[in-house]
Amino acid sequence: MAKKEANVKKDIRFRVYIAFTCICLLGIAIMVKASLIVFKDGPRLKELSQEMHTRFDTLIAERGNIYTEQGVLLSSSIPEFEVHIDFSVIDSGLFAKNIDSLCSCMATLFKDKSAYQYKEEFVKAYNDENKYYLLGRKLKYYQYEALRNFPIFNKGKGYGGFIEDINEKRENPYKMLAARAIGVFRDTNLSGLEATYNKDLVGENGRRVVQKSTGNVWVPIEGSEVDPVNGHDVVTTLDINIQEVAEHALLSILEKYECLYGTCIVMEVNTGKIRTLVNLGRQPDGSYWEDFNYAMIPTEPGSTFKLATLLSLLNDKLINVDQIVDAEGGAIRFGNRIMKDSHLGLHAMPIWKAYAESSNAALAKLGYTYYKDNPSKYVQHLKDFHLDRPTGIDLIGERRTHIIMPGTDEWSATTLPWMATGYGVLVSPLHTCMLYNSIANKGRMMKPYLVSAIKEYGKEVKNFAPTELTQVGDSTVIAQLLKCTRAVVTEGTAKGIESPYYTIAGKTGTAQVADKGIRYSDGVYQGSFVGFLPAEDPKYTICVVIRTKPHSAAYYGGAIAAPVFRMVADKIFSENMGAWEAPLDSLARMATANLPATAATGSSYEVLLHAIGKTVAMPEDNTNSLMQLVTDTTRTLVIQPRKLYRNVMPDVMGMSLKDAVYMLETSGMQVHVQGRGKVKVQSVAPGTAIIKGQNIILQLS
Radius of gyration of the chain (CA): 37
Give residue 700's pLDDT: 77
Please state whether beta strands 468-471 and 451-456 pair in parallel, antiparallel, or not at all (unpaired): unpaired
Tally Cβ neighbours within 10 Å of residue 307: 27
**DSSP-based three-state secondary structure for 48:** helix
Residues 508 and 494: beta-carbon distance below 8 Å? yes
Chain centroid offset of residue 115 CA: 43
In angstroms, the CA 14 to CA 28 distance is 21
Q: Which residues pair with 134 in a beta bridge?
A: 84
- Which candidate, 138, 135, 130, places its Cα nearest to that of 113? 135
pTM for this structure? 0.72
Report the pLDDT value the prediction gives residue 598, as an integer from 0 to 100: 52
pLDDT for position 578? 56
| pLDDT computed for residue 55 by the predictor | 76
Note whether 484 and 439 are within 8 A (CB). no
Q: Are 666 and 691 in contact (CB under 8 A)?
A: no
User: CA 306, 308, 309: angle at the middle one, nearest 5?
Assistant: 65
Listed as ranges, residues in the chain with pLDDT below 70 are 1-9, 38, 40-53, 186-188, 213-219, 576-604, 611, 617-626, 628-636, 642-646, 676, 687-689
End-to-end CA distance of the chain: 111
CB 96 within 8 A of CB 694: no
3-state secondary structure of 288: strand
d(CA 470, CA 434): 11
Q: How far apart are CA 266 and CA 89, in angstroms?
A: 61
Closest of 308, 291, 314 to residue 192, by C-alpha: 291
- pLDDT at res. 215: 53
Which residues does 105 contact at the CB level (< 8 Å), separation at least 6? 146, 150, 151
The fold of 600-700 is: Trypsin Inhibitor V; Chain A (3.30.10)
Residue pair 656/678 in contact by the 8 Å Cβ criterion? yes
Instruction: Give the helix ranges, DSSP H, for 175-295.
Output: 179-182, 192-196, 198-202, 240-257
Homologous superfamily of domain range 66-236:
Penicillin-binding protein 2a (Domain 2) (3.90.1310.10)
Instruction: Please state, in angstroms and rounded to a whole number, the distance separating the CA atoms of residues 609 and 449.
Output: 43
**What phi, psi does 486 have (nearest 5°)?**
-70, -40
Q: What are phi and psi of 627, to 5 degrees?
A: -125, 170
Helices (runs of H) and strands (runs of E) counted in the chain? 21, 30
Answer yes or no: CATH 1.10.10.10 is held by domain 240-574: no
363, HSE (Cβ side, Cα atoms, 13 Å) = 30
Separation CA 245–CA 346 (nearest Å): 38
DSSP string, 481-492: HHHHHHHHHHHS
Which residues have C-beta within 8 Å of that of residue 661, sequence separation ≥ 6? 671, 673, 698
Map out the domains of the chain as residue ranges. Answer: 2-53, 66-236, 240-574, 600-700
Count other C-beta atoms under 10 Å from residue 552's C-beta.
19
DSSP H or E stretch at residue 127: helix 115-127
